[in-house]
Structure 1
């Protein structure tokens, strides 16, 4: 069992989060397949950290379903079918792996198609005036920043917009998916899979969606939301990585 040496921190070790990222990506990319036994001492030596740091990292990975502590065997890598597919870390690591990226995006788009239009319908029925005004403000910000080529501002507003959409549905199960949605939207930008200049239609559809929700027009809200999700899927299908300055 071997792992690429990570860059140590100035203190000579790795930050806890860096260790989790290092080990998680090794598992998700198949470097350590299901059934592999991970030895704490070996990992501590390879990563130049204490055993306590490794134990904490394993605890975090166990929470994502990537590893399991077994009596008389130690810590064992789990088969991918046992991983928590809704864990934001697992989603992010799969998106970072070119071999899994397309399949992961496809699954996420299918999830969005099933959930977000219904969240839009419920939001049109349940949203309060303050949240409605905030959604319109965020959509207007997307229109402005997109037209100016300020992609980072566009993405920031987009993430908050869709988070507010899920929250405004009044369904706590929908709202609990906001971290997953963050990974989808932010991941597109992080991986360079967004147009350098956002499509103006995407911005105006968000404004149409926000306006429909604010006016209580559920059918229009559902249609506009579905259009947004499908356009996003089409962009992913036609995109190639773009450099980010």
Structure 2
């Protein structure tokens, strides 16, 4: 098997096995036989072994002497890993996931805005202003441009907080942006731009409390919009 084909097989095993574990198709405690996996995915022993190493790094699987390789308990999963977030996001978004993302954003982003108002540099302001301009220009039917501009603004805000650990939360914020795009496709309007502008104004004027309040209001509105759109798309009578 050539290097490129082996790499492709490795990625296929990682993705398919990861999705199966995250969505509960393969339950915690389930034994994973590398030989059987190789047959299932038509992959070499090397590709399967490397794929399992990747999943171990994400906390989804483990290996023990005399036990072999197995799916770990959910509490050991790295739920903030970008791939784990994406697998959960792409396959089975439910109300619990919506709520968890909203709660994390409300804990992280208002504080990030407060810190940004205290620590921002001229370069940070320029990045935020560029992102806001792109957000305003994206209003229309192109939802992809909207979510990219929206994420650029929130990412720039995390950077402006100048806290390296906070910037690592960008994967969670991006998941929230992608989720909003899924349920409110093409719905960004001038009100949303105004809410972002209020955050930028507070950051520019170095008003941390106002920045925190403005960001909380922005996220609250995003939560309302996403929940409303999700409820409208939910089959009639289906429990929340």
TM-score (normalizing by structure 1)? 0.86
* Residue number in structure 1 paired with 2:111: 118
Deviation at 1:89, TM superposition (A): 1.6
* Residue 138 (structure 2) pairs with residue 153 (structure 1): no
User: Which of 169, 179, 196 is 2:171 aligned to?
Assistant: 179
User: 2: distance between equivalents of 1:102 and 1:63?
Assistant: 28
User: C-alpha deviations, 1:64-110, integer Å up to 9, x for none?
Assistant: 11100111111110111221122122222222333x53212211110
Please identify, of 231-240 and 106-115, the stretch whose mean Cα deviation from structure 2 is larger: 231-240
User: 1: distance between equivalents of 2:109 and 2:227?
Assistant: 20
Deviation at 1:124, TM superposition (A): 0.5
1:161-172 to structure 2, matched below 5 A, reads: 161-172=153-164
* Residue 227 (structure 2) pairs with residue 234 (structure 1): no
* Residue number in structure 1 paired with 2:38: 44
* Residue number in structure 2 paired with 1:7: none
Contact 2:183 2:226 in 1 (8 A): yes
Contact 1:125 1:216 in 2 (8 A): yes
* Residue number in structure 1 paired with 2:180: 188
Contact 1:140 1:207 in 2 (8 A): no
TM-score (normalizing by structure 2)? 0.88
* Residue number in structure 1 paired with 2:189: 199
Deviation at 1:154, TM superposition (A): 1.3
Q: Secondary structure at the match of 1:239?
A: helix
User: C-alpha deviations, 1:121-140, integer Å up to 9, x for none?
Assistant: 11001000111122012112
Deviation at 1:216, TM superposition (A): 1.0
Q: Secondary structure at the match of 2:69?
A: strand
Unaligned runs of 5+ in 1: 1-9
1:19-58 to structure 2, matched below 5 A, reads: 19-58=13-52
User: 2: distance between equivalents of 1:67 and 1:188?
Assistant: 30
Contact 1:139 1:204 in 2 (8 A): no
Contact 1:155 1:185 in 2 (8 A): yes
User: 1: distance between equivalents of 2:74 and 2:216?
Assistant: 30
- State the Cα RMSD in Å: 2.0
* Residue number in structure 2 paired with 1:221: 211
Please identify, of 22-31 and 84-93, the stretch whose mean Cα deviation from structure 2 is larger: 84-93
Contact 1:14 1:49 in 2 (8 A): no
User: 1: distance between equivalents of 2:80 and 2:214?
Assistant: 26
* Residue 137 (structure 2) pairs with residue 144 (structure 1): yes
